[in-house]
Chain A
């Protein structure tokens, strides 16, 4: 019988007596990703996967943004003939689907994948191979639906694909099947990342990082991960039901055989409303980081901020029916969902006041990142106010499916999430790349984005009140919607230019940007304690946390823990609440199997669009690949 390989001396060596240079070199060797193609395909470093996630999400932003530009060109004038109704249907569906499933949620998770391990002071994300797998699954799902669009099989029933329109009778062909399977891809990826983030935050925090010393950005990602965990299964079940109705003749949504179209709406919005907060909550984390760093003081009312995050996530699960007021909900139900929809403004409002109080009582430094946060405060409050308006049933039924709703959700999603995200790009770009983005161009970018965004979306409020319905490919001149639509399209063009400015800034700064150093903003959280970009091991020694802003509290020397092995990938596991050191666990090494498993999963998922048997013949190789993935290969980390 085999016996586990004996440990060599190098595998037993700990960091205790090593000098800084030797330690850093040895750890980089142990934790490094091999150069070359194989290295790239087997990578499990959260920074590499996180970077890919971020870049891929921005590519999808670009595609979805271009779809929006085409729509705005079409709508700029009445009776325009730039695109026809069929292509227009595909464009708005691809725009919404891509923005929600392939950009907004993934980009927030991407930032979590990159930043959370650094901010909690550990060496890699929990379950790093699952992390690699999730990236590939996400990538394949996104590619699938865009390739389908290029082949004129783009989804065309809107991003929430209501039945019976999306059902087998009204949408023959493969368009909706591809959409439903894209949901499966992206939700598998998102659920995997949420489990990784939860375990990373609960078990891999640096010693001393008690619950009340966790940075708010990490709290927001933890709360979001829990929301993902309980929201995404609903849309997976729903899209599975939809594809089964279409492919194997089930009747979940078929009224004639006892099914119900509103079941789809309930299932979709049970996911769909928390989804908005899954996008928004991480953004509040970015805002908190930026506000604290550039106010030069800790956050005002930390406990209240954490409570607000948790309360928002809880309440987010009790609002979904406000998307369905127009379906004739019983009055008691309407009142309940109106009340809860208004209630959620309270924790959001509390956060806004705390940020303002922090800025007010601090010494603000108006960097580009902070300018984007100020833009966020204004735009998001505007979106929040229309949100409270829409919570009221009479008003909601009046403006249901009009541009008023389009204006509202772009204010909360772009104002509430994209502005903080752009701030986050300026704030963490130096950590990701080692170079600062240009601040002068950044200010121009922020101003252009603010003006372009408001010009593009504010007129939509009025258009909605004038009665313009969403999802129409054109309108008659007599309606009088022409001038405001033209204004909106001009604003959209300016907003588009602002993204070109960002792209230019990124490309130019990658080459010639000022070298950042470890902590260019003199920030207080742990990701700034290491080099920019961080070494493969993140930290040469695991920091010991004594304060909520550890780097502000320990300006002379960072307290650290010693005793981890250097020749073997080892992470320090701490207790969930007090973060006292508990065990030294080995961490997985690079592996090709997550990629192979993802490819086989993609074959099974895509195959099942064409034959249900693909679930069986496709599932067997996936199972085999997973076994190969988990089978110990003789690395010291396996034992």
Chain B
């Protein structure tokens, strides 16, 4: 078919931030589907809680110490996460490196707290359905924590080696966006696992 040029796109930039880039939308897609997974698992928790006359089933509610420390640190991590995102948008390599290192270390502390949290649940997964669903929810969130931590480490390595180009800043920004999802998805789970049994 004959062609009739009507538009020149050569002057367009070769990367952009946020919703202008494809990677941001891909990340959003995965947040949506993983968020649905969390919602479904939380729904299963509520369904089982509603079905059983006693909840939690023959176990005390999980201890608050480690999980609350975890929650405080996780929420606090939103600040350096915001700073890394801002630095990326300014393409400020020094600041990006600094805050990426911070954001690489925070998940290590979080994982240590999480490791302490599992025994503090006061119930094993194979004791009853309550134990099973609690371990499932916590396991699901831990999976997200670990994957985004690994992603952050790789990106940090890239920002310290010879791979720094414009679109890498966009990747840093999208990674920070995903971390916000890891933070935000924890809060309802925290409320459900640790506070709902106490308030009910």
Say whether B12 contacts A198, CB under 8 Å. no
- Tell me the minimal C-beta distance from B48 to chain A in angstroms: 7
Say whether B13 contacts A267, CB under 8 Å. no
The 8 A CB mask of B18-32 against A (1 = contact, 0 = none) is: 011110011001101
Q: Does A556 contact B (CB under 8 A)?
A: yes
Chain B interface size, as a band, is 35 or more
Say whether B6 contacts A2, CB under 8 Å. no
Pick out which of these stretches binds chain A: B65-73, B80-88, B162-170, B188-196. B162-170
Say whether A254 contacts B129, CB under 8 Å. yes
Pick out which of these stretches binds chain A: B34-42, B100-108, B176-184. B34-42
Say whether B9 contacts A572, CB under 8 Å. yes
Q: Does B136 contact A (CB under 8 A)?
A: yes
Q: Does A584 contact B (CB under 8 A)?
A: yes
Say whether A207 contacts B20, CB under 8 Å. no
Which residues of chain A have C-beta atoms less than 8 A from B129's C-beta? 250-252, 254, 257-260
Task: Please measure, in the bound complex, the distance between the C-alpha atom of A236 and the C-alpha atom of B36, giving whole angstroms.
Answer: 11
Say whether B6 contacts A559, CB under 8 Å. yes
- Known contacts A195-B30, A203-B22, A558-B2; is-contact A583 B51 (Cβ 8 Å): no
Main secondary structure of the interface of A (DSSP, over half): mixed
**Interface set, chain B 117-165, CB cutoff 8 A to A:** 125-133, 135-136, 150, 154, 158, 161-165
Which residues of chain A have C-beta atoms less than 8 A from B5's C-beta? 541, 559-562
Task: Please measure, in the bound complex, the distance between the C-alpha atom of A573 and the C-alpha atom of B16, giving whole angstroms.
Answer: 10
Say whether B7 contacts A544, CB under 8 Å. yes
- Tell me the minimal C-beta distance from B136 to chain A in angstroms: 7
Say whether B21 contacts A544, CB under 8 Å. no
Pick out which of these stretches binds chain B: A406-414, A439-447, A484-492, A625-633. A625-633
Chain A interface size, as a band, is 35 or more
Say whether B136 contacts A585, CB under 8 Å. no
- Tell me the minimal C-beta distance from A359 to chain B in angstroms: 28
Q: Does A518 contact B (CB under 8 A)?
A: yes
Say whether B40 contacts A544, CB under 8 Å. no
Which of B14, B34, B154, B164 has the most chain A CB atoms inside 10 A of its CB?
Answer: B14
**Interface set, chain A 1-46, CB cutoff 8 A to B:** 1-4, 14, 16, 20
Interface, chain A (partner B; CB < 8 A): 1-4, 14, 16, 20, 126-127, 191, 194-196, 198-199, 202-204, 207, 229-230, 232-234, 236-237, 240-241, 244-245, 248-252, 254, 257-260, 263, 266-267, 270, 518, 529, 540-542, 544, 551, 554, 556-564, 570, 572-573, 575-576, 581-586, 623, 627, 630-632, 638-639
Interface, chain B (partner A; CB < 8 A): 1-16, 19-22, 25-26, 29-30, 32-34, 36-37, 40-41, 44, 47-48, 51-52, 57, 125-133, 135-136, 150, 154, 158, 161-165, 167
Q: List 15 A-B contacts (CB under 8 A).
A: A20-B3, A194-B33, A203-B25, A230-B33, A230-B36, A232-B33, A250-B125, A251-B127, A259-B129, A260-B51, A557-B4, A564-B9, A581-B9, A583-B21, A631-B154
A-B contact sample (16 more), CB < 8 A, given A229-B32, A583-B16 = A2-B163, A127-B22, A127-B26, A203-B25, A229-B29, A233-B40, A252-B132, A542-B9, A557-B4, A560-B3, A561-B7, A561-B9, A564-B9, A573-B22, A576-B19, A631-B154
